[in-house]
Amino acid sequence: MIQPNQWRALALGTFLCALASCGASDASPKEDAQRPPNIVFFMADDLGYGEVGAYGQELIPTPNIDSLARDGMLFTNHYSGSPVCAPSRCVLLTGLHTGHSEVRNNWENGGWGQDQSEGQWPLAPNTQTLARVLQAKGYATGGVGKWGLGGPGTTGAPENQGFDHFSGYLCQRIAHNHYPTHLWRDGERVELEGNEWVDSHQKLKEPLDTEDEYWERYNGATYAHDVMLADAVSFVREHKDEPFFLYYASPIPHASLQAPPEDLDAFPREWDQEHYLGNKGYLPHPRPRAAYAAMVAHLDREVGSVLATLDELGLRDNTIVVFTSDNGPTFNGGTDSTFFNSAAGMRGLKCSVYEGGLKVPTLVRWPEHVTAGSSSDLPSAFQDWMPTLLEIAQVPSPTGLDGISLLPTLEGAGEQAKHESLYFEYGGQQALRAGRWKAVRRKLRKDNLVTELYDLEADPKESKDLADQEPEVLARMVGLLNSSRSPSTIFPLPGIDPQAKKK
């Protein structure tokens, strides 16, 4: 049983100890030149393109994430796998875009009640995940955070998809509460003492009298992220003498808005003139803007703690670190994407196939391979990480992937292959980028296959539909939309696939 606040204290102590050791890696054994590089892949949840300092954020400090831009490469045209959670994670871990991937939408195995079944649509047995391929080649594989690709005991659970170790949330719905009653660790349920079950979708008719009443009603004793951070750091320490892959899929800043109350005071009270009462879903909060900023800042500290641990153990030079987000910023739960300029002026937010829902901050650090302070405008997406990281690990990629290796871009050497197009679909929407052009279809049904066309170079905000002015370009884009996908009986696309009942 995990005791209240023990993990928070452990995580903080680990972070401070590691910080004190920064720069002391000369005392550590030098890495074997023949050892494949370690891989640390951070993925935030609903973090917008404009919510990182390196991408222009001015209100929320993200010094540790920004350090990856200073010491590595910043991508300006990188896309997630989907504008929502589960399919984006599927694309990342399988190298198949949503026209070919098994999971193309969120799908729930249960409801919001305390005793409902957990999990989303499970990956099929023996899916060739990034973790499974690396595991087969001798990598220690660890996952921490939010999974979303199969509930407890299913074929999609992480221990059945190539992960030697996993700690965190298996179910995306449970992850709507950052003080949950339990997490999962290697297939076993771990109770978090001091946390009580709370329905994560509530509404208040009027504000509570004091802030303490909010903490008593909606917070618990153990912040899940401190548990998961401590576990991630432990995984790195335990496997420092062998190649490892750490997939750190933090569930923040996804709503509900919840952060330790002491973290809120880093941000001005003047930001929040009204309490959020839960009218746009998720839990109420007295200081919603401060809470959101505190969550992003907490995420940044998580990144800093893992980076400092790598430094302490002398692993910095032989570890590639990637940081990104699963989709664009959200619009509900008391969040304020306008206030924070979360989408950096782009059109659309989470759930949208416009740029704001798909384009994500992406940073890569790999000393002596990636030039410090460099950037790339190469159009790329989540399906590219599997072939990229496998090539870096000197492991052959499975056949039939939709991604291409980004290694020539990262190292600045050799000829970089380029996508003819990048394809996306989600919930009655399609999008495709080919060079400067972007095609968008929304609200698809059999009698409505209207395609919008945008010139991203001239119109990055997707404000002027050129479908009527560019018929030849439109015809080419429609052809690519149609040829970029295979039918799905599990997640049929309205107006295109036969409507098959989900199992």
pLDDT in the model for residue 446:
81
Asked whether residue 88 is assigned to any structural domain, the reply reads yes
Is there a domain that residue 175 lies in? Answer: yes
In a domain, 499, yes or no: no
Residue 446 falls inside a structural domain: yes
Nearest CA-CA partner of 134 in 411, 416, 402, 385: 385
**pLDDT score recorded for residue 9:** 45
Do residues 260 and 338 both lie within one domain? yes
Q: Is the peptide bond before 82 cis (omega within 30 degrees of 0)?
A: no
- Which position has the token pair 């919510």? 51
DSSP 477: H
Same domain assignment for residues 465 and 416: no
pLDDT number for residue 323: 99
Nearest 10 degrees: CA dihedral of 384, 386, 389, 394?
-120
Tokens coding 87: 């399919």
Of 366, 389, 420, the last residue of a domain is 420
Which structure tokens are listed for 437? Answer: 């052009």
Cα dihedral angle (259, 261, 262, 265), rounded to 10 degrees?
90
Tell me how long the chain is. Answer: 503
Are residues 235 and 93 part of one domain? yes
What pLDDT was estimated at residue 33?
55
Does 51 lie in the same domain as 98? Answer: yes
CB-CB neighbours of 126 under 10 Å: 11
Q: Check whether residue 259 and residue 297 sit in a common domain.
A: yes
Q: What is the pTM of this model?
A: 0.93
The enclosing domain of 357 has a CATH number of: 3.40.720.10
Contact 171, 119 (CB under 8 A): yes
Identify whether residues 375 and 474 lie together within a single domain.
no
| Residue 501 included in any domain | no
What pLDDT is attached to residue 215?
A: 96
Structural tokens at position 230? 């401590």
Do 331 and 433 share a domain, yes or no?
Answer: no
Residue 32: per-residue pLDDT:
53
**Pair of tokens at residue 375:** 């950037």
Give the pLDDT confidence score for residue 28 in this predicted structure. Answer: 41
Number of domains forming the structure of the chain: 2
pLDDT by residue for the chain (503 residues), tens only, comes to 444 444 444 444 444 344 433 444 443 444 455 799 999 999 999 999 999 999 999 999 999 999 999 999 999 999 999 999 999 999 999 999 999 999 999 999 988 888 899 999 999 999 999 999 999 999 999 999 999 999 999 999 999 999 999 999 999 999 999 999 999 999 999 999 999 999 999 999 999 999 999 999 999 999 999 999 999 999 999 999 999 999 999 999 999 999 999 999 999 999 999 999 999 999 999 999 999 999 999 999 999 999 999 999 999 999 999 999 999 999 999 999 999 999 999 999 999 999 999 999 999 999 999 999 999 999 999 999 999 999 999 999 999 999 999 999 999 999 999 999 999 999 999 999 999 999 999 999 888 899 999 999 999 999 999 999 999 999 999 999 999 999 999 999 998 997 655 44
Q: Do residues 304 and 448 share a domain?
A: no
At a CB cut-off of 8 Å and minimum separation 6, what does 338 contact? none
- The reply to whether 344 and 448 lie within a common domain is no
Give the CATH number of the domain where residue 440 resides. Answer: 3.30.1120.10
Q: How many Cβ atoms from other residues are within 10 Å of residue 211's Cβ? A: 15
Q: Where are the alpha helices (DSSP H) in 205-325?
A: 211-218, 224-238, 261-264, 288-312
Q: Is residue 137 part of a domain?
A: yes
Same domain, 408 and 437: no
Indicate whether 268 belongs to any domain.
yes
> What is the span of the domain harbouring residue 459?
427-483
Q: Give me the amino acid identity at 459.
A: D
The whole-number pLDDT of residue 114 equals 87
| Domain membership flag for residue 500 | no
Q: What's the confidence (pLDDT) of residue 315?
A: 98
Q: Which of 372, 389, 420 is the last residue of a domain?
A: 420
Where does a domain end: 420, 437, 460? 420
Q: Considering only CA atoms, which of 263, 356, 349 is closest in space to residue 302?
A: 263
Tokens linked to 94: 């399988």
